[in-house]
C-alpha cells in the first residue's frame, strides 16, 4: 500500500516565520497529514539596509516562496497574510486562513522614555522605530513631536535595537510578539486599539497558499480553515485591493463581525507625509463594505468646518482636515475664570469631568495624600498626568451616565469630590448619588462669549453643551446641517433645540472627532 504524500511547507527562516510553519505542521499532524519544512530566503530577507517603501516591486517577502510553489519544490506556503499581495499569481490560491491572533499594533516603550501625558505615551521628541508607511502616518497623527526612524530586522532583532537604546520606542504587530512569547518585562507595552491605530489588513492571520490543482493539500487544509476569520479578512483585503496599493502603502483596514453587525475601520493616506483620513462604517452585511469604504476615502472634500475650540488644543485635527480638502474655523465660544474655593474636604476620590476642572482646581489646591483620582476622557487624564498626578480611573464612554455606571460598578460606597463649574450638568453626579457620598465644589465659572459665526459651514463641531448654547444665543442653524457633538450631554442639548442631524464621536480624542467627520460628511 502506497504511503500518503508528505506535504512540503515553504517558510522564511525568521523565528516568527518558523513558528508559523511549525504551527501549521502541528495542526496538519493532528488531522493525520505528514509534512516537512523547507526554508526559503526572500528578497525582503536579503535587503536589510532599505525601508520597505524603497525596495522595488511588491511581495518581497513572498515572491520567492510563490516561485517555489509553482516549480513544485514545495506544496504549501505559510505567509503572514498581511505581507501577501491581494491577488495570487496564476496557478496559485489561498486554500485556508488560520485563527486570528491579536490584530492590534503593539507600542513598545523603554521605561525611561515612558510619559503617559503625551499622545502615544512616548516622551516628547523621542525616536520611534518603524518602516511601515501605515504606522508612520498614524504616529504623526497621534504624536507629531516624535522622530520616526526606519526599523528593519526580525522581531527579536527589532526589540533588541530598542532595548539597546537606538530607539525610545518601536511599533510591532502584537501577534508576532505574542506567538514568540517574548519577555517584554523591561518595557512598557501598550496594545493600540484599532479605532485609534488601524491595523494592516489581515494582521494576525496566516494565509496558507497552494497550487490550484493540488487537491490533496487542499483537502488537508480544509481542516484548518476558519470561515469566521475569512468573512472579515475578505473585507479588509478587498478594500486594500480596491485602493490599488500593495501591502506597504499607507492603508490600514480592520473589520469585525459581532452581534450581527460588521464594523469596518479604514485609515488611508496618499503618502507618508499626509495625515490619514479615517472612516468607520457599520452594516448588517459585508457585501458592498469595501466599495463604500473606498468611496468615502476617495470622495472630493471641500467647505469649511467650524470647531468651537482653539486650534492649539487640537493642532493635528486642523492639519488632518486640511490635508483632505476642508477649510477649518477654530473659534472658542466660552471662557472660564477661577472661583476661589475653600480647602477641599477629605474624600476617597477626586473626580474631574473636564480639563477646565483640572486647571482651575490645581490653581488653588493639590489632591490630598491617599485620594484616588478619576477623569472623564483621555484629554482630562493627560492634563492630570502632565501635572504629575496619576489617574486611577478613566471613563472613555461618551455617555456620561455610562461613565458613572462603570465607576459605581467598582467603587460603590466611596466618597467622591467633584470640582465643577457653575454650569455643570451633573450627569455623572446624578448617576452616582444613590451609590456614593457626593460632594461638589465650584472652582471655576463658565462665561458664554458673544460671537457671530459664518453659518454656511458644511459642519459644526460643538465641544460642550455650553459651547453649543453660546453659539445658538447669537447664531442660527438649520435643522438639516451636520452637527458633531462631543459627548452625549452636548448631543442632548442640541436635540432639545429641535436639531436632529447630530453625530456623536465614539470618544473624546481629536482622532475620534476626525473619524466622525470623515465618516458622515
Residues recognised as catalytic: 83
- Cα 166 to Cα 227: distance, rounded to the nearest angstrom: 42
216 and 30 in contact (C-beta within 8 Å)?
no
- What is the chain's alpha carbon radius of gyration, rounded to the nearest angstrom? 26
Q: Which helix (H) or strand (E) holds 415?
A: strand 415-421
Half-sphere exposure of 98 (CA within 13 A, CB side): 27
Q: Which helix (H) or strand (E) holds 281?
A: strand 277-283
- Cα 13 to Cα 478: distance, rounded to the nearest angstrom: 62
161 and 170 in contact (C-beta within 8 Å)?
yes
- Cα 245 to Cα 154: distance, rounded to the nearest angstrom: 24
Beta strands in 3-113 (DSSP E): 7-11, 35-39, 76-80, 92-100, 105-110
447 and 422 in contact (C-beta within 8 Å)?
no
Q: What is the DSSP string of 185-244?
A: TTEEEEEEPTTTSPPPTTTTEEEEEEETT-HHHHHHHTTT--HHHHHHHHHHHHHHHHTT
Residue the block writes with cell 458613572: 404
Burial class (CB in 10 A: 0-12, 13-18, 19+), 165: exposed
- Cα 378 to Cα 398: distance, rounded to the nearest angstrom: 11
Q: Is 46 left (phi over 0), alpha (psi -120 to 50) or beta?
A: alpha
DSSP state of 397: -
Amino acid at each position: 500500500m502506497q504511503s500518503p504524500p508528505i506535504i512540503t511547507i515553504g517558510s522564511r527562516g525568521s523565528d516568527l516565520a518558523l513558528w508559523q510553519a511549525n504551527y501549521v505542521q502541528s495542526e496538519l499532524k493532528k488531522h493525520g497529514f505528514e509534512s516537512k519544512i523547507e526554508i526559503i530566503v526572500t528578497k525582503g530577507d536579503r535587503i536589510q539596509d532599505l525601508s520597505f517603501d524603497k525596495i522595488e516591486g511588491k511581495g518581497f517577502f513572498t515572491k520567492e516562496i510563490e516561485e517555489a510553489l509553482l516549480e513544485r519544490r514545495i506544496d504549501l506556503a505559510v505567509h503572514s497574510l498581511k505581507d501577501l499581495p491581494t491577488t495570487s499569481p496564476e496557478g496559485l490560491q489561498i486554500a485556508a486562513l488560520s485563527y486570528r491572533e491579536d490584530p492590534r499594533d503593539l507600542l513598545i516603550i523603554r521605561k525611561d522614555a515612558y510619559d503617559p501625558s503625551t499622545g502615544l505615551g512616548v516622551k516628547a521628541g523621542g525616536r520611534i522605530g518603524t518602516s511601515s508607511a501605515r504606522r508612520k502616518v498614524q504616529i504623526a497623527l497621534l504624536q507629531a513631536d516624535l522622530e520616526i526612524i526606519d526599523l528593519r530586522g526580525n522581531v527579536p532583532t527589532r526589540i533588541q535595537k530598542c532595548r539597546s537604546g537606538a530607539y525610545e520606542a518601536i511599533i510591532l504587530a502584537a501577534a508576532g510578539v505574542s506567538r514568540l512569547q517574548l519577555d517584554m518585562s523591561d518595557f512598557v507595552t501598550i496594545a493600540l486599539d484599532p479605532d485609534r491605530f488601524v491595523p494592516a489588513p489581515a494582521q494576525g492571520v496566516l494565509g496558507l497558499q497552494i497550487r490550484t490543482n493540488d487537491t490533496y493539500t487542499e483537502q488537508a487544509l480544509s481542516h484548518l480553515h476558519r470561515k469566521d476569520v475569512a468573512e472579515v479578512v475578505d473585507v479588509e483585503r478587498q478594500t486594500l485591493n480596491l485602493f490599488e496599493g500593495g501591502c506597504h502603502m499607507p492603508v490600514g483596514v480592520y473589520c469585525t463581525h459581532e452581534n450581527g453587525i460588521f464594523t469596518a475601520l479604514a485609515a488611508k493616506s496618499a503618502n507618508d507625509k499626509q495625515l490619514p483620513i479615517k472612516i468607520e462604517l457599520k452594516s448588517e452585511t459585508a457585501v458592498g463594505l469595501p466599495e463604500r469604504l473606498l468611496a468615502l476615502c476617495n470622495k472630493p472634500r471641500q467647505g469649511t468646518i467650524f470647531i468651537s475650540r482653539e486650534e492649539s488644543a487640537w493642532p493635528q485635527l486642523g492639519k488632518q482636515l486640511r490635508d483632505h480638502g476642508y477649510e477649518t474655523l477654530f473659534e472658542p465660544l466660552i471662557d472660564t475664570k477661577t472661583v476661589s474655593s475653600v480647602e477641599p474636604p477629605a474624600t476617597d476620590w477626586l473626580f474631574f469631568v473636564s480639563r477646565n476642572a483640572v486647571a482651575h482646581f490645581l490653581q488653588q489646591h493639590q489632591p490630598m495624600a491617599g485620594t484616588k483620582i478619576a477623569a472623564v476622557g483621555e484629554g482630562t487624564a493627560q492634563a492630570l498626568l502632565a501635572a504629575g498626578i496619576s489617574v486611577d480611573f478613566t471613563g472613555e464612554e461618551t455617555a456620561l451616565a455610562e461613565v458613572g455606571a462603570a465607576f459605581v460598578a467598582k467603587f460603590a460606597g466611596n466618597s467622591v469630590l467633584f470640582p465643577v463649574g457653575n454650569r455643570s450638568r451633573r450627569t455623572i453626579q446624578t448617576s452616582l448619588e444613590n451609590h456614593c457620598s457626593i460632594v461638589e465644589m465650584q472652582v471655576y465659572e463658565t462665561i458664554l462669549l458673544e460671537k457671530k459665526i459664518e453659518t454656511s459651514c458644511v459642519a459644526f463641531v460643538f465641544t460642550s453643551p455650553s459651547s453649543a448654547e453660546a453659539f445658538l444665543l447669537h447664531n442660527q442653524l438649520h435643522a438639516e446641517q451636520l452637527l458633531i457633538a462631543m459627548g452625549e450631554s452636548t448631543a442632548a442639548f442640541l436635540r432639545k433645540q429641535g436639531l436632529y442631524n447630530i453625530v456623536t464621536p465614539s470618544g473624546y480624542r481629536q482622532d475620534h472627532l476626525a473619524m466622525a467627520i470623515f465618516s458622515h460628511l
